[in-house]
């Protein structure tokens, strides 16, 4: 049997490897004999050649021998070289799987890697190796290329050189379940030749990818393009999310001087503050209830000295494994030790695969964490933060505390884990198979008088299934039957109850401070009846039911704001990447916003896709201030993701400065000459 570690590294059992290496060596021997035989055959008859080949096949090197088989020592050296090559290959493939999220088979080779890269870029790769752009891409508008005609088509780029503003469906799945939201059509939905970039040197692609934009790539906005005037609109505070690893595992500032330099630049363009994760895996790393806040205290002091504000995220999840995670911050070591003996503290799928990204909500009231429940652990952590850093709370430096409620800090089940093979637009899987959640399901089924309902759906497919390919999510499927409605109600109620309990404790700790909960944009399969991806994520929101109203009411109950996370748009061309997945990111966003507005719940927002150009910033402005909304509503704050070196580059900083001024409701000149340069 192949072990899990061997699967991860792309290697099998040792004896199987030896057999394959023996086969490789034998193949080389056979090849040598065929080559030598071809020369021999030219000077003798075929019969003589066949006799020579059969008689000397096993002959060892001798002075009189005209041909010889490979010596034993050479065979051993060949095996060692092959073993070394396989070890290197295994490490490469293991790194691609673990850090690049490539779904490569166990015995992958270079062809599999190339095919994975091509498919990630949206190309079609047939089993025989035939490769071509997908039909949908062939009809999409071209990327904006400097000095090129708008009617020329450009194939999608591979990883590291993505098309500006263009993301394939696979790239969209890497946005931690965050979709694309464009409230209404606008001048910035560019799908033709309205925008043409110019480069100082060579032609290139212009867009919002961090990898392809630098200070020498400047996007020129045509003078005949009308921009929305946001002067005089309500002031929306702007926060910039700090790097994930701004505090290292020793709870120290990783780069104090570099951070201070960047914060001063942000202050110079009137950014209101910063947003930072307070990682559970750092502050309570080694032992229960032994907290270390030193690095955060230093950070908060720097921010206060610059007269900036802070939004804090209580991060009870791990960092790493999701695209965009450039550091690895696991759950506390003592929690991992418990998980090794009791893996049911983690969310579990139908196949029994554990997800250690965060704790299962089934242990909220179970004393399995060294005598404490999960709720008590969260409460003690937040209380320690409140006591140790009280000065920053009381003087208003900390303007909002966002409470982590699930994977990536979001209120959802980890239904689409890339580490378990999920790829966009799969429906995902239900995550209720740890023994604690199954006990809760059994109790709910017995209370309904149907103990045989104490099970998860058996026909819901797998991570990468599509709704119509399952008996549960298809139109008229079991999701809308008696058992389906019972199960989905229980599944979503566990999510709501978890939010209710944790937010009640957070409000008790932080009292008058503003608290918030983060909600993702699960937009794929929204135009189907079942809304399958939302169901597996815990949002009971089929076409005949509002699954977000009760969540908004729960937030209102505790005076919590709703922090909505989504991508904005593909800005330079708007390919219809959602048609195949029947996605509707705009509809999801408006449903969530309307549910919050109906309960007078404040809404904050953060972007997920990196963007550094004017067109992208203009689209984000429309998603925050809603210029076409007759009620002139707007969001309470905006958090820009993320503080990276590319943002500090000259032209990118100029565009971000314009963006900040517009969010503040100020007038912006078309040509600004005085900006801080890096």
Residues forming a β-bridge with 238: 638
- Structure-token match 């062809």, residue found: 111
**Helix 72-100 with 110-120: angle, nearest 10 deg:** 20
Alpha-carbon distance of 144 to 572, in angstroms, equals 7
- Structure-token match 């999920």, residue found: 422
Q: Is 357 a catalytic residue?
A: no
Alpha-carbon distance of 660 to 577, in angstroms, equals 29
Q: Is 75 exposed, middle or buried (0-12, 13-18, 19+ CB in 10 A)?
A: middle
Instruction: Look at residue 643 and give its three-state secondary structure.
Output: coil
Alpha-carbon distance of 446 to 490, in angstroms, equals 13
Angle in degrees, CA 564, 565, 570, rounded to 5: 130
Residue 619: other Cβ atoms inside 10 A: 27
Distances (CA, A) of 56 to 13, 61, 66, 68: 34, 10, 9, 7
Q: Is 343 exposed, middle or buried (0-12, 13-18, 19+ CB in 10 A)?
A: middle
Alpha-carbon distance of 150 to 71, in angstroms, equals 64
Alpha-carbon distance of 82 to 21, in angstroms, equals 7
Q: Is 388 a catalytic residue?
A: no
Listed residue (285, 359, 275) closest to 316, CA to CA: 359
φ/ψ region of 393 (left if φ > 0, alpha if ψ in -120 to 50, else beta) reads alpha
Q: Tell me the helices (H) and strands (E) count for the chain, helix number first.
A: 20, 14
- Which of 171, 586, 606, 649 is an active site residue? 606
Distances (CA, A) of 406 to 254, 346, 358, 519: 26, 11, 6, 10
Distances (CA, A) of 652 to 161, 314, 569, 671: 18, 30, 18, 14
- Which of 410, 586, 622, 655 is an active site residue? 410
Active site residues: 410, 606
């Amino acid at each position: 049997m192949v072990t899990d570690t061997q699967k991860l590294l792309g290697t099998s059992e040792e004896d199987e490897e030896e057999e394959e290496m023996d086969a490789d060596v034998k193949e080389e021997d056979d090849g040598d004999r065929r080559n030598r035989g071809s020369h021999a055959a030219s000077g003798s008859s075929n019969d003589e050649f066949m006799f020579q080949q059969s008689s000397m096949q096993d002959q060892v090197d001798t002075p009189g021998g005209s041909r010889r088989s490979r010596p034993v020592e050479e065979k051993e050296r060949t095996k060692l070289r092959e073993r070394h090559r396989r070890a290197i290959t295994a490490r490469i493939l293991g790194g691609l799987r673990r850090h690049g999220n490539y779904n490569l088979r166990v015995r992958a080779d270079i062809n599999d890697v190339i095919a994975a890269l091509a498919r990630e870029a949206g190309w079609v790769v047939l089993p025989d190796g035939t490769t071509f752009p997908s039909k949908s891409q062939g009809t999409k508008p071209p990327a904006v290329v400097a000095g090129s005609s708008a009617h020329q088509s450009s194939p999608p780029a591979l990883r590291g050189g993505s098309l500006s503003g263009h993301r394939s469906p696979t790239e969209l799945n890497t946005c931690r379940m965050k979709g694309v939201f464009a409230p209404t059509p606008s001048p910035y939905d560019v799908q033709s030749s309205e925008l043409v970039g110019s480069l100082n040197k060579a032609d290139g692609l212009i867009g919002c990818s961090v990898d392809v934009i630098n200070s020498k790539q400047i996007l020129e906005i045509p003078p005949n393009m009308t921009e929305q005037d946001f002067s005089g609109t309500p002031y929306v505070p702007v926060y910039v999310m700090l790097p994930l690893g701004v505090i290292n595992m020793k709870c120290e500032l990783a780069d104090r001087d570099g951070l201070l330099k960047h914060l001063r630049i942000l202050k110079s363009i009137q950014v209101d503050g910063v947003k930072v994760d307070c990682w559970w895996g750092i502050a309570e790393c080694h032992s229960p209830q032994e907290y270390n806040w030193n690095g955060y205290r230093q950070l908060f002091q720097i921010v206060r000295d610059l007269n900036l504000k802070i939004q804090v995220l209580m991060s009870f999840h791990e960092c790493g494994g999701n695209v965009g995670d450039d550091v690895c911050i696991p759950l506390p070591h003592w929690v991992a030790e418990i998980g090794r003996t009791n893996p049911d503290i983690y969310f579990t799928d139908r196949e029994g695969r554990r997800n250690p990204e965060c704790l299962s909500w089934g242990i909220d009231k179970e004393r399995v964490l060294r005598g404490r429940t999960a709720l008590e652990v969260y409460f003690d952590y937040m209380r320690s933060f409140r006591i140790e850093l009280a000065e920053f709370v009381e003087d208003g430096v900390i303007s909002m505390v966002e409470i982590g409620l699930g994977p990536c800090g979001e209120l959802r089940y980890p239904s689409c884990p890339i580490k378990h093979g999920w790829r966009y637009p799969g429906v995902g899987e239900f995550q209720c198979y740890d023994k604690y959640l199954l006990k809760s399901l059994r109790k709910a089924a017995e209370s309904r008088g149907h103990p045989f309902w104490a099970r998860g759906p058996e026909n819901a497919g797998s991570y990468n299934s599509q709704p119509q390919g399952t008996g549960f999510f298809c139109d008229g499927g079991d999701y809308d039957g008696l058992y389906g409605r019972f199960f989905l109600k229980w599944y979503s109620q566990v999510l709501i109850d978890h939010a209710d309990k944790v937010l009640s404790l957070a409000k008790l700790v932080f009292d008058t401070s503003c608290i918030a909960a983060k909600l993702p944009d699960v937009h794929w399969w929204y135009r189907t009846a079942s809304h399958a991806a939302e169901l597996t994520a815990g949002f009971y929101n089929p076409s005949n039911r509002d699954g977000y109203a009760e969540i908004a009411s729960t937030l209102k109950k505790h005076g919590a704001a709703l922090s909505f996370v989504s991508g904005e748009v593909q800005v330079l061309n708007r390919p219809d990447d959602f048609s195949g997945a029947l996605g509707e990111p705009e509809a999801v966003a408006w449903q969530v916003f309307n549910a919050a507005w109906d309960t007078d719940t404040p809404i904050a927002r953060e972007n997920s896709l990196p963007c550094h150009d004017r067109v992208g910033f203009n689209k984000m402005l429309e998603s925050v201030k809603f210029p076409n909304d007759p009620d002139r509503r707007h969001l309470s704050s905006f958090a820009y993701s993320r503080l990276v070196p590319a943002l500090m580059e000259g032209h990118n900083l100029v565009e971000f400065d314009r963006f900040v001024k517009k969010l503040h409701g100020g007038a912006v000149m078309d040509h600004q000459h005085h900006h801080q340069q890096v």
